[in-house]
Amino acid sequence: MSQSINLLGQSRSSLERFFEDLGEKKFRAKQLLQWIYHHNGRDFSQITVFSKALRDHLSSVATLETPKVLETHRSHDGTVRWLLQSSLEDAVEAVLIPDGKRSTLCISSQAGCALDCSFCATGKQGFNGNLTTSDIVGQTYLVKNWLREHQPDRSLTNVVFMGMGEPLLNFQSTVDASSLFMDDDAFGLSKRRVTISTAGVVPMIEALIGQSEASLAVSLHAANDSLRDELVPLNKKHPLEELLAACKNYLTSLEGRRSVTFEYTLIQDVNDQDRHAKELIAFTRRIRSKVNLIPFNPFPRSGYKRPSIDRIKYFQSLLLNNGVVATLRMTRGDDINAACGQLVGNVKDRTRRKLRHERDYWESIATDISNLT
């Protein structure tokens, strides 16, 4: 028996091909998208705009499958974190952050992460592979329906690729999923409210040109190359000047006055000093941008600390006083480990990085102990 095809998350163009291969007209794709995403249809036998033969065919070859929910955690501040099973059978995370009228969903693009940013817990888990477009769209579909059931007065307003993984290293699925998020026949979100966040995969930022109209966020964390090399090792391959040029090119390709968001995780004594603010101001002046400050979220054995709230506010004031639009992302959901950089899921690590990090840690403890004795 041939394997059934999961139509949840298929792009418009692949649905069009699917129907054309069946000898149907392309516009069936539009009808199916609306049926899935607007009418929350589940059972193909009920798509009355299709012929009985087409309905029967779909029922026999296709499915609509969302990732399986393994765990749901609700924070006292309203944040909800889901642990979901991907098609590779890794556990990945999605986090819903309600804030006033806004409801932002933070989704994962990969099982683990192949980059190893020094301050990020996801990276320490290693990497097992890309999520499929269905896995990515499935997270959003599932949460949209969860809201419909549990908080009918709220609807999903923003989707950000800031969960586990580097979305631009899962390029096509990220582009296809974000197109569905912005497609009026599917999720219908505004282009400004769908954000792809990257550690700075320069060639893939360039590749977004003409392929995507989503907003771009770049995890900057340092505005000088030597410090950024340490925090975001990818910087050694694609240093700041290259990154800036790619961001400018992408913004130029978009209609309207759009800006790039620079995420800046504040880490005590590492990148929170006056000179760092000065560098950041000079850097961000060179492009239409905003800065989103994220106080470092600690996790076991990270070796880093969050600056005091006074230092964080002071750093923000340095930016604001110099005309930089700088927001402070207050930590949400930390009681359920849902804060930035704390998403770890449970992935089969193909890189053995997790083992290596653990071994390094125990070796350093052993050295400490032998120094004591």
Q: Which is nearer to ligand SAH, 35 or 333 (CB)?
A: 333
Residue 263 binds ligand SAH (CB under 6 A): yes
Catalytic residue check, 340: yes
CB of 95 to ligand SAH, least distance (A): 11
CB of 339 to ligand SAH, least distance (A): 7
Return d(Cα 162, Cα 167) in angstroms, integer. 8
Contacts of 62 (CB under 8 A, 6+ apart): 4, 5, 6, 7, 44
Q: Which is nearer to ligand SAH, 146 or 304 (CB)?
A: 304
Return d(Cα 114, Cα 240) in angstroms, integer. 20
Residue 222 binds ligand SAH (CB under 6 A): no
Longest alpha-carbon distance in the chain? 80
Q: Which is nearer to ligand SAH, 6 or 198 (CB)?
A: 198
Residue 198 binds ligand SAH (CB under 6 A): yes
Alpha-carbon distance values, 206 to 58, 201, 202 (Å): 38, 9, 6
Annotated catalytic residue, options 65, 89, 93, 263: 93
For tokens 């095809």, what's the residue? 5
In which order are the strands placed within the sheet that holds 102-106?
68-74, 80-85, 91-99, 102-106, 158-161, 194-198, 215-219, 260-266, 289-295, 326-328
Residue 341 binds ligand SAH (CB under 6 A): yes
Binding residue for ligand SAH (CB under 6 A) from 32, 107, 143, 199? Answer: 199
Beta strands in 61-109 (DSSP E): 62-63, 68-74, 80-85, 91-99, 102-106
CB of 232 to ligand SAH, least distance (A): 7
Contact in structure between 196 and 178 (CB atoms under 8 Å): yes
Annotated catalytic residue, options 117, 247, 340, 358: 340
Q: Which is nearer to ligand SAH, 37 or 82 (CB)?
A: 82
Catalytic residue check, 120: no
Q: Which is nearer to ligand SAH, 156 or 162 (CB)?
A: 162
Binding residue for ligand SAH (CB under 6 A) from 294, 312, 326, 347? Answer: 294
Contacts of 22 (CB under 8 A, 6+ apart): 54, 57
The 156-195 site mask, x for binding ligand SAH (CB under 6 A), equals ------x---x-----------------------------
Contact in structure between 339 and 332 (CB atoms under 8 Å): yes
Q: Which is nearer to ligand SAH, 94 or 340 (CB)?
A: 340
Phi, psi of 82 (to 5 degrees): -110, 140
Return d(Cα 6, Cα 65) in angstroms, integer. 6
Q: Which is nearer to ligand SAH, 199 or 240 (CB)?
A: 199
Return d(Cα 175, Cα 65) in angstroms, integer. 20
CB of 334 to ligand SAH, least distance (A): 10
Interface with ligand SAH: number of residues (CB under 6 A)? 17
| Candidates 18-26, 118-126, 250-258, 273-281; binding stretch for ligand SAH (CB under 6 A) | 118-126
Binding residue for ligand SAH (CB under 6 A) from 128, 179, 265, 271? Answer: 265
User: Which residues are paired to 236 by β-bridges?
Assistant: none
Residue 116 binds ligand SAH (CB under 6 A): no
CB of 330 to ligand SAH, least distance (A): 12
Alpha-carbon distance values, 195 to 23, 124, 224, 240, 283 (Å): 36, 24, 25, 21, 21
Window 120-149: residues binding ligand SAH (CB under 6 A): 120-121
Residue 311: which region, alpha, beta or left (left: phi > 0; alpha: psi -120 to 50)?
alpha
State the residue number with the nearest CB to ligand SAH: 341
Contacting residues toward ligand SAH, per CB under 6 A: 117, 119-121, 162, 166, 197-199, 219, 263, 265, 294, 296-297, 340-341
